[in-house]
Amino acid sequence: MKKYAIIGAGIIGSSIAREIRKRNLGDVVVLEKEPELGYHASGRNSGVIHSGINQIPGTYKAKMCLKGSKFLRDYCKKNDVPMIECGTLVVGRNFEEVSRIQELMKMGREAGVSDLRIIDKKELGEREPLAKGLAALLSPTGSIVDSKKLLNTIVNESKSLGVSYQFGEEVKEIFGRDIITENRTFDADFIINCAGLYADKIAHMMDVAKSYRIIPFKGNYVGVSFPINAMIYHPPDLRFPFLGVHLTRRINGNVIAGPTATLSLGRENYNGKIKLKDTIDMVSSVNFRRMVADKEFLQNAISNAKFSLSKKAFINEINSSVNLDVKEEDLSDAFCGIRAQLVDMNGKMEKDIFIRETENSLHILNAVSPGLTCSLAFAEYIVNDRLIPKS
C-alpha cells in the first residue's frame, strides 16, 4: 500500500489526510512540529466560513470557497461542530462604497454565490442596529464556526480512519523519500507539503519553487464590548489579499475587531519579539525587496500600518462602522495570527491557491484565507485531480 507523509497538521493537511484515508488510497502519517494542534493559522483565525463574495470569479479560490462553504457547513451540522449561519454584511458608508458593494455583488454572483442582495439603510438597521452605513451587501451564507473544535473533529475522524499523527517532529531535511526530523527518519512514497508558514522552506529542501518566498503578515484582533448579530465588513481593495479591519461575532457571542495587516518580523512573531534570523532572511530576499519597492504595495502597507501603530486610528476605524463612541477602555486584548503570504521573485503577491508538484511530492504553497473555508473542497480536489491516476 502506498505510504503518504503529510507535513503540517493544520486544517489543510488534516483534511487531505482524511480524504486519502476515506478513499483507502494508502497509509498516511501526518508530521507536525508543534506538540499539539492549532498553534498557528488553523487555531489563530476569526472562525469565519466565507461565502465567496470577494473572490475573483474563475480562480481556484472562488471555486473552492463556494464549494467548501457548503461542504463545511454541512460537515459541522452532521458532526455537531458549533456553527452559526449568521450572514455577512459588506457595508457602504458613503456613495463611493455603495458603488463598490454593487460591483462586489456582480462579482459574487458571477462566482456563483447564492442569494446576494443589496439592503437599504432601514433593513441594515433592523439586522444590525449598531451598524453605520447607507446600504449593505447581504450574503446570507456567511457563517461563523468554532475553528479549533472543527480542526479537532477532522483530526479525530482522520485518526479513526487510520491516519497516524506524529507531534514534535520538525522536518530538518528531505532526501528522496527520507524525511529527517529532529528525532528520527520517516520514509514515504509520496510527500504532501502543507507546512503553512514554512511551506516554502520544505519545498526548497526538494528543489521546488525556489524562486518563491513566503512573506509573513501579522494580523492583530481586539475584543470589543458591544454586541453584533453577524459580521460587518467594508468593501475590500481587491488589488491586495487583505480584507481590512472588520467586526466579527464569534461562536461564543463575543465580538472581535480586526485584523490589522503589517509585515511580521518573524514567521512566528506572535508575542511581538523580533525574530532576528527570520527577519534578516526575509529582507535579504529579492522577493521582499521588489515587493516593498512597488508603489501600490507601499500605499496599501502605509494605510494598513496606521491601524497597528495608532490606537486612535484603529478606534476611529471601528467607530466608522458603528453608531457608538468606542473608546480605548472598550477594547480588550484578543489574539493575533500570521498570514503565510507567497510572493514571487518579481515581488508580486500570489492571490490564488498555489500548488507545485513533482512525481513524488505535492506542495501547497499559498492556501491563505479563505483556507479554512476551502479545506474540505480543496482536499477533495487534491485527491481527485492530483493523487488519483487518470485512466
3-state class (DSSP) for residue 42 = helix
Answer whether residue 391 shows pLDDT above 70: no
- Note the helical H segments in the chain: 11-22, 60-78, 95-111, 121-127, 147-160, 199-205, 276-283, 286-293, 295-309, 311-319, 371-381
Answer whether residue 29 shows pLDDT above 80: yes
Do the Cβ atoms of 108 and 51 come closer than 8 Å?
yes
Q: How many helices (H) and strands (E) does the chain have?
A: 11, 21
**Rounded Cα gap, residues 342 and 344, in angstroms:** 7
Task: Look up residue 383 and give its DSSP letter.
Answer: I
Residue 187: what pLDDT?
A: 97
Do the Cβ atoms of 72 and 145 come closer than 8 Å?
yes
Between CA 388 and CA 29, with CA 355 as vertex, the angle to 5 degrees is 60
- Separation in Å, CA 335 to CA 27, 102, 258: 36, 33, 10
pLDDT tens per residue across span 226-275: 999 999 999 987 777 777 899 999 999 999 999 988 999 999 999 989 99
261 φψ region: left (φ > 0), alpha (ψ -120 to 50), beta (else):
beta
Residue 239: what pLDDT?
A: 76
**Residues in the chain, overall count:** 391
**Rounded Cα gap, residues 152 and 46, in angstroms:** 16
pLDDT tens per residue across span 317-362: 999 999 999 999 999 999 999 999 999 999 999 999 999 999 999 9
**Rounded Cα gap, residues 260 and 256, in angstroms:** 12
pLDDT tens per residue across span 48-76: 999 999 999 999 999 999 999 999 999 99
Residue 237: what pLDDT?
A: 79
Residue 40: what pLDDT?
A: 96
Residue scoring higher pLDDT (306 or 198): 198
**C-alpha cell belonging to residue 380:** 477533495
- Note the helical H segments in 47-196: 60-78, 95-111, 121-127, 147-160
Quote the radius of gyration of the chain (alpha carbons, Å).
21
Residue 368: what pLDDT?
A: 87
**C-alpha cell belonging to residue 224:** 470589543
pLDDT band of residue 299 (cuts 50, 70, 90) is confident
- Separation in Å, CA 195 to CA 11, 202, 384: 11, 7, 21
Per cent of the chain over pLDDT 70 is 99
> What domains lie within the chain, and their CATH numbers?
1-85+143-212+352-391 (3.50.50.60)
Answer whether residue 162 shows pLDDT above 90: yes
The pLDDT mean for the chain works out to 95
Which residues on neighbouring strands pair with residue 109, listed in sequence order? Answer: none
CB atoms within 10 A of CB 257: 25
Please, what's the b/e burial string for 17-53 (b: 16 or more CB within 10 A of its CB; e: otherwise)? bbbbbeeebbbbbbbbbbeebbbbbbbbbbbbbbbbb
**Rounded Cα gap, residues 111 and 352, in angstroms:** 14
Residue 309: what pLDDT?
A: 80
Please, what's the b/e burial string for 270-303 (b: 16 or more CB within 10 A of its CB; e: otherwise)? beeeebeebbeebeebebbebbeeeeebeebbee
